[in-house]
Amino acid sequence: MTGTSVSFGGRLAAAFDAHGRLCVGIDPHAHLLADWGLEASAAGVRAFGLRVVEAAAGRAGIVKPQVAFFERYGSAGYAALEGVIRAARDAGLLVIADAKRGDIGTSVAAYAEAWLTPGSPLEADAMTIAAFQGVGSIAEPMRLAEAAGKGLFVLAATSNPEAAAIQKAVVADGARAGMTVARAIIEDVHAFNQEQPPHPFGTVGLVLGATVALGDYGIDTATAVAPTVPVLAPGFGHQGARVADVHAIFGAFAPGVIVSESRGLLTAGPGGLAEAVARRAEEVRTSHG
C-alpha cells in the first residue's frame, strides 16, 4: 500500500488551521430526504450528499458520511457514496467514513483496505472502527492506516445509553486489568500512537460522545498525552452538547476534539445549510480560540 506524503495527523492539523474543528455529518435519513424534496433512493442520497459537500466546502474542513444510509440501497447506494466521497475530497474536505467496521484477522484488514487504500473507489481519509474484540484485533487496520497516511477512529465511550454497561465494565486480566473497557481501549490507542513516527495528531483516534460523563467510564481527562489523540465527538447540536463546553467535557482531550454535528445542521434544508454550516463553524472556531 502506497501512503500519502502527509500523515493523517498532518492533514487534520491543516484542516483545523484552515477551517476549524467542525465536522458536518452526511446522514440522509428518510425524513430528511423527504424534507429536502428528494426521493428515498440511491439517486436521492447521492443528490443529498453532493448538496452537503457543496455547503461544507470552504466553510468547514471535515465531512462524515454515514455509510449505513447509503448501504441500504445496495450497489447503487455504494456507487452514490463513491461519488459523494470523491466530490468531497476533490473539494479539499477531509472525509471520515462512518462505517463502524469491526472483525478479526484478514476480514478486518479487508475492511480497512476498502476504505483506506489510496485509489480505492471508497477511499476516505479515515474510518470509524470497533475494537470490542480487543484492540489487538484491529492491529492490521492500524498498521495499514499508518502506512497509507490515513486515520482510524476507534469506538471507546459512545453516546448511546445501551453501550454504557459494556464500556464501563472492568477488564478482568492482562496488561489493562482493573481498567474499564473504554479506558483500556484508550490506553491501547495511546500506546500505538506513541510507537509511530511523530505526527501533529495520532494516526489512531477515538470516538468519545460529547454527551457522556467520561469520568464515569474511568477515563482520565486530566493528563495530556503526546501525540494528541484525535477525538471524533458526536452529540453536538440536536443531541444537546454545547460547543462552549468542549473543554469542560473533554479536558486534556480537548485539543484533538472534532465537533461532529449532523441533524442540527441538516434540518436547515438545502437552502439554509451553507449558512448554518458557516455559522456553526465560526462558533466552534471562536470557542476554541
Which active-site residues does the annotation give? Answer: 100
- Please name which of 24, 9, 101 lies closest in space to residue 64, comparing C-alpha atoms: 24
DSSP state of 230: P
Whole-number Å distance between alpha carbons of 16 and 18? 6
Alpha-carbon radius of gyration of the chain: 18
Per the listing, cell 479487508 goes with 110
Q: Are the C-beta atoms of 275 and 246 separated by less than 8 Å?
A: no
Q: State the angle between helix axes of 105-116 and 139-148 in degrees (0 to 180), rounded to the nearest 10.
A: 30
Whole-number Å distance between alpha carbons of 101 and 107? 10
Q: Is 154 helix (H, G, I), strand (E, B) or coil?
A: strand
- Please name which of 212, 126, 108 lies closest in space to residue 168, comparing C-alpha atoms: 212
Angstrom distances, CA of residue 210 to CA of 113, 134, 231, 260, 263: 29, 23, 10, 9, 15
Q: Are the C-beta atoms of 266 and 276 separated by less than 8 Å?
A: no
Contacts 24+ apart (CB under 8 A), 137-141: 137/102, 137/103, 137/104, 137/105, 137/108, 138/102, 138/108, 140/105, 140/108, 140/109, 140/112, 141/108, 141/109, 141/111, 141/112, 141/116
